[in-house]
Structure 1
Amino acid sequence: MPLSSLLRTVMRLPRDRDRRSALPHPHGCRLTFAGDRVDRARGRVPAVGGAAVDPAPLSGMRVLDLADRLGLDAALRAALDALVGEGTGFVEHHRLADRRLWRLTGRTEGLTACLALEPATPAEAALHDRLTAAAATVDELQAVARRSELSPVPTFESDATGRILWHNRAAGPLARMAGGLGAIPGLIASGDGTSQLCTSDGTRLGWGRITTVPSDIGGQLIFVEDIDAQIRAEEALDSFTSTLTDTFAHIDTALAVFDRERRLSLFNPALHDLFGLDPVGLAMRPSLREFLEALRQRRMVPEQTDFSAWRQRITAAATTVSEVPYHEDWSLPSGQVLRVTARPHPRGAVAFVFDDISDYVTLERRYRAEIELGHAMLERLDEGVALFDRSGRVLFTNDVFERAMRRESLDDLLSAGLDGLTEAARTASADPETWLAFKAFALAAERQEHWAAVAETGDGRLLLRASAMPDGSTLLGLLDPDPAAAAPTPDLAQPLRRIGCG
């Protein structure tokens, strides 16, 4: 029987006499109904504040308004409607508008529906309070049971002997895989913590996290959380990290990976070799701030007037997610040059790559110096010199060549190219065939190493000497043929070959 029905049954008072003509309780009232309205009211009606009022104004009031006046709940409103409409009697206890406990008795006298309101006795009030508290406790227990049933974590309850007394819905599949509820104690025999769940025959059911809580009956509440996917993910991550570590251990480029908390989570031996950092200190996972401070102490960062501001700038630039990674070359006091690249990850991690490019920078500087030396040598020659790539674009000219071609600047020569130069020279020359022959030599896929010819100009002659360079470019020299016959001119291709233009 539901607790609410039990409460109503217990709270009904035995009728030891006929009350049809009885007067109402001295502190209560008696109402009769005609249809859906109050026909007659006798006694005193409870009101807000505890003072009873004359029931006379209730005469003619609708049942709905009466329920509002008395402060009835939904159950009592339904019972009052059934009394007036169908003649169904009831006995209920309820706290009305004055907050006191009243006994409401609904019955029929002949064809007339009557409602009696009487103050509850102290015994009734005490019993009502106890039953109401019990009902609230039952409701709370039922709510807890519903929530336990909806929990996705398999949950069992055992007695003091370990026998399973109850389990929720999520525990059903686990119990079936284990071979029944009787196999659950053996499945969780390892106790609290993470363990591999195995049946009695050794069948593995996966990884679980077991948590036990003592119950009030001397047994235990047992929670078995399925963490098999988590364990497999952690194993895959460990394997991947181990693979990365083994891979990075064999490269010469220093690598340092900081997690989202900006602590060192991965590094390779090259980091220790490059900066001379203690591997034990690196294994203690220093922060990015501490890492940069350690580099400063070893003079492995560029000299700064304000190191704190520089460190903040580096940290901000390196940890800002961007399509273009952070890139900077560090010139150290020792003369070393480090190329630093940082690529932040969208989830917060950042990877630093440190590459020692000192040899590359030294080679590049030497190469640039030799190029500049070669250009200076060509500028001091009496012969006009020009270098064309395999497509006919002008790469270099000296002043003598520009004057011979009547060009005022290198920009004009660059914009004209081989086609423009040969066209202008052909137009101004008495023998255009010579310039067309040079153009054919410069653009030919297969050609001899040297080519030479004398071109007639409006004010004399020019000796054109061309040499094929190893990279497919063409070196052209212009000079007066008469002085050339008297004094041999050096091979102009040799300086360019030596400095690497070929």
Structure 2
Amino acid sequence: MSFGLSELIILGVIATIGAAGLFTLLLRMDNRRTRPNLQLGRAGDGPVFLFQDKDLIDATPDALAMIAPHVQKMSEYEATLHVLGAHFINLEDVLAAHDKGHVRVDGEHPNALSMHIEREGPVLRIAVTDEVSNGPTKVTDMLEHDVRLAELSMMRELTKHTPQLIWQENGNGRLIWANQAYLSFSDRLRTGIETVTPTWPSKSVFPDLTDATAHAGSTSRRVAVTLPDKSAEHWFDVTTVAQQNGFLHFATDANAAVRADRQRHNFVQTLGKTFAELSTGLAIFDKRRQLAMFNPALHELTRLPIEFLSSRPSIDTVLDRLRETRILPEPKNYASWREQFTALEAEAREGTYCEVWELPDGQTYRITGRPHPDGAFALLFEDISAEISLTRRFRSDIETGQAVLDTLGDAIAVFSSTGSLVMSNKAYADLWDTAEPSYHDQRALQTELETWRGRCTPTRMWSEMRDFIYGSGTRKTWADDAILDDGRHIRCHANPIAGGMTMVRFDFAPPKTPVISKLTMSDPALLSAKR
């Protein structure tokens, strides 16, 4: 029987590792050597194996040579099943079923070998004989021949059914062997369809791969093959192994990987365009603490040179440069300031870092840390100078308005359309003996009404005032009087103002003097007497 070049290579590898396997096997057996009752060698026996609980304890030299190439990747018992199983079908089941005594098993092939199985307690003896020639050398040759045939058959099946394209070329690049997947792909390129029985291609479907691999043991590259309609390309990852008289190539479909790379590239480009339009400065540091990505806004806000940012500086270098350019607040203690760098990085990785930097030139930046996958993190730089200025202006306006109200002698309180106390002045707090609310406190109208009722004599006026404050639509100024529990009279004014709000004003009114009208009226009785 003749073998192809690739098959001879495989057989050569098996022979090469045999010596190393035999040495390893002898070391193992020496540690397990026992004195079993079953004899190792008998007249007419070929290779003989002695096992105790699936551990090989003794074997004839020809038996050891048979399993030596396999013991580095499997146990001695499994190696024996592998070698003998090519000739004796279902050997593992036969051994498992035989638990005592002697049994003979005949092989499946013409002029087959016979195997004698003996079991005595935990010890198992396996002997292979040739009933015709009674020669142990021929037994070994037949078993090794069956193993090689089984391995070659398995390899043929693998190369036939694998989706990977495998082919072999000589030193001039001429195709000398190819598997089923390669031939089917070649037919599809030539005819547009995959045929049941592919034909041998006149030339390789791949570009010349020999130049790049002439002086290399193994190389990999990504190769594109144009489809027949030239509308698309089919991509492969090709691994080339240089051999003595040619090259062996393995091609794996890479279309999914190429599509993923293109989608990732497009996505990165989209992100880059989006980041470029952001007014927020973005700095992304990888797991090695180096600047991996930044946008133009970072350059504009920090005034760091593009060349410096493009050199992938570390976060320590970036923060040092920010301090030098007075973009980072100057600390009182330089040592503690350096320690804050480490804390900044740790907090940014956890997504908890957020700090406001007030710079010497009056600008205010908000720095936020956000974690990213694979240990990376991002720092966001936002210029909030206008926001801070506007907030301070609003606060100043509110404080100024409050100060103006506090100078007025009348008690004033402003309520929203939902009945919340928006603001009041000091005279209001003194009149009703309540705490002065800050500008962000909002007490409920119902609470204030209870205070008013508790300090005045009973009157329906408070219900009318409540209805007026909650009222909607066009409202006219409303006023009424009330008497405090100390006898003073107060005048209550309710004025609608912008936004549906109501300003309530309290001032003291002079007490009303009762008029005795009886003395000034004409007496009807006297008038009738005069008549």
**Is TM-score (shorter-chain normalized) higher than 0.5?**
yes
Correspondence for 1:317? 347
Secondary structure of the residue aligned to 1:187 is coil
Correspondence for 2:521? none
Matched, 1:156 2:154: no
Contact 2:128 2:139 in 1 (8 A): no
Matched, 1:279 2:322: no
Aligned partners of 1:400 and 1:267: how far apart in 2?
Answer: 57
- AA aligned opposite 1:386: A
Residue pairs, 1:261-340, within 5 angstroms: 261-304=288-331, 305=333, 306-320=336-350, 326-340=353-367
Residue pairs, 1:116-127, within 5 angstroms: none
Secondary structure of the residue aligned to 1:330 is strand
Aligned partners of 2:202 and 2:510: how far apart in 1?
Answer: 111
Residue pairs, 1:235-250, within 5 angstroms: 235-250=262-277
Aligned partners of 1:286 and 1:293: how far apart in 2?
Answer: 11
Contact 2:326 2:360 in 1 (8 A): yes
Correspondence for 1:189? 207
Matching residue within 220, 231, 236 for 2:258: 231
TM-score, length of structure 1 as denominator length: 0.64
Matching residue within 397, 401, 419 for 2:446: 419
Correspondence for 1:461? 489
Task: Please state how far the C-alpha of 1:104 moved relative to its aligned partner.
Answer: 6.9
Correspondence for 1:166? 177
Task: Please state how far the C-alpha of 1:456 moved relative to its aligned partner.
Answer: 3.5
CA shift in 2, pair 1:170/1:369, >3 Å: same
Aligned partners of 1:163 and 1:89: how far apart in 2?
Answer: 43
Contact 1:83 1:89 in 2 (8 A): no
- AA aligned opposite 1:239: N
Secondary structure of the residue aligned to 2:500 is coil
Correspondence for 1:384? 411
Task: Please state how far the C-alpha of 1:89 moved relative to its aligned partner.
Answer: 10
Residue pairs, 1:313-462, within 5 angstroms: 313-320=343-350, 326-407=353-434, 417-426=444-453, 429-430=456-457, 432-448=459-475, 450-458=477-485, 459-462=487-490
CA shift in 2, pair 1:482/1:326, >3 Å: same
- AA aligned opposite 2:164: V
CA shift in 2, pair 1:377/1:208, >3 Å: same
Contact 1:426 1:433 in 2 (8 A): no
Secondary structure of the residue aligned to 2:444 is helix
Aligned partners of 2:172 and 2:469: how far apart in 1?
Answer: 101
Residue pairs, 1:82-97, within 5 angstroms: 82=104
- AA aligned opposite 1:210: V
CA shift in 2, pair 1:212/1:185, >3 Å: farther
- AA aligned opposite 2:341: R
CA shift in 2, pair 1:65/1:451, >3 Å: closer
Aligned partners of 1:82 and 1:181: how far apart in 2?
Answer: 49
Contact 2:417 2:500 in 1 (8 A): yes
Contact 2:186 2:201 in 1 (8 A): yes
Secondary structure of the residue aligned to 1:377 is helix
Contact 2:174 2:203 in 1 (8 A): yes
Aligned partners of 1:140 and 1:376: how far apart in 2?
Answer: 98
Secondary structure of the residue aligned to 1:277 is coil
- AA aligned opposite 1:312: T
- AA aligned opposite 1:156: W
Contact 1:162 1:185 in 2 (8 A): no
CA shift in 2, pair 1:288/1:181, >3 Å: farther
Task: Please state how far the C-alpha of 1:272 moved relative to its aligned partner.
Answer: 0.9
Correspondence for 1:43? none
Note the alpha carbon deviations across 1:377-434, whole angstroms, 9 max, x for none.
32333222222222222233334323322446769xx897322433453465457233
- AA aligned opposite 2:432: M
Aligned partners of 1:132 and 1:83: how far apart in 2?
Answer: 15
- AA aligned opposite 2:178: H
- AA aligned opposite 1:158: E
Contact 1:463 1:478 in 2 (8 A): yes
Percent of pairs identical after alignment?
A: 26
CA shift in 2, pair 1:284/1:141, >3 Å: farther
Aligned partners of 2:163 and 2:499: how far apart in 1?
Answer: 72
Aligned residues: 400
Secondary structure of the residue aligned to 1:333 is coil
Contact 1:163 1:182 in 2 (8 A): no
CA shift in 2, pair 1:210/1:399, >3 Å: same
CA shift in 2, pair 1:173/1:450, >3 Å: farther
Task: Please state how far the C-alpha of 1:141 moved relative to its aligned partner.
Answer: 6.5
Contact 2:166 2:249 in 1 (8 A): yes
- AA aligned opposite 1:178: L
CA shift in 2, pair 1:148/1:293, >3 Å: farther
Contact 1:164 1:181 in 2 (8 A): no
- AA aligned opposite 1:189: P
Aligned partners of 2:305 and 2:393: how far apart in 1?
Answer: 35
Correspondence for 1:495? none
Contact 1:466 1:476 in 2 (8 A): yes
CA shift in 2, pair 1:295/1:136, >3 Å: farther
Contact 2:173 2:208 in 1 (8 A): no
- AA aligned opposite 1:359: A
Contact 1:164 1:182 in 2 (8 A): no
Correspondence for 1:21? none
Aligned partners of 1:331 and 1:176: how far apart in 2?
Answer: 71
Contact 2:276 2:296 in 1 (8 A): yes
CA shift in 2, pair 1:166/1:428, >3 Å: same
| Structure 1 residue ranges without an equivalent (≥5) | 4-47, 50-54, 59-63, 93-101, 108-114, 484-502
Task: Please state how far the C-alpha of 1:355 moved relative to its aligned partner.
Answer: 0.9
Matched, 1:206 2:224: no
Secondary structure of the residue aligned to 1:471 is helix
CA shift in 2, pair 1:154/1:302, >3 Å: farther
Contact 2:348 2:370 in 1 (8 A): yes
Aligned partners of 2:162 and 2:326: how far apart in 1?
Answer: 59
| Structure 2 residue ranges without an equivalent (≥5) | 4-31, 34-38, 43-47, 61-79, 92-101, 115-126, 191-197, 213-220, 512-531
Question: What is the Cα-based RMSD across aligned positions, in Å?
Answer: 4.8
User: Is the deviation greater in 169-178 or in 234-243?
Assistant: 169-178
Task: Please state how far the C-alpha of 1:441 moved relative to its aligned partner.
Answer: 2.0
Task: Please state how far the C-alpha of 1:273 moved relative to its aligned partner.
Answer: 0.9
Aligned partners of 1:427 and 1:67: how far apart in 2?
Answer: 105
Task: Please state how far the C-alpha of 1:294 moved relative to its aligned partner.
Answer: 2.7
TM-score, length of structure 2 as denominator length: 0.61
Aligned partners of 1:67 and 1:448: how far apart in 2?
Answer: 108
Task: Please state how far the C-alpha of 1:175 moved relative to its aligned partner.
Answer: 2.9
Note the alpha carbon deviations across 1:261-295, whole angstroms, 9 max, x for none.
44433322111111111112323333334333332
Aligned partners of 1:142 and 1:287: how far apart in 2?
Answer: 58
Secondary structure of the residue aligned to 2:460 is helix
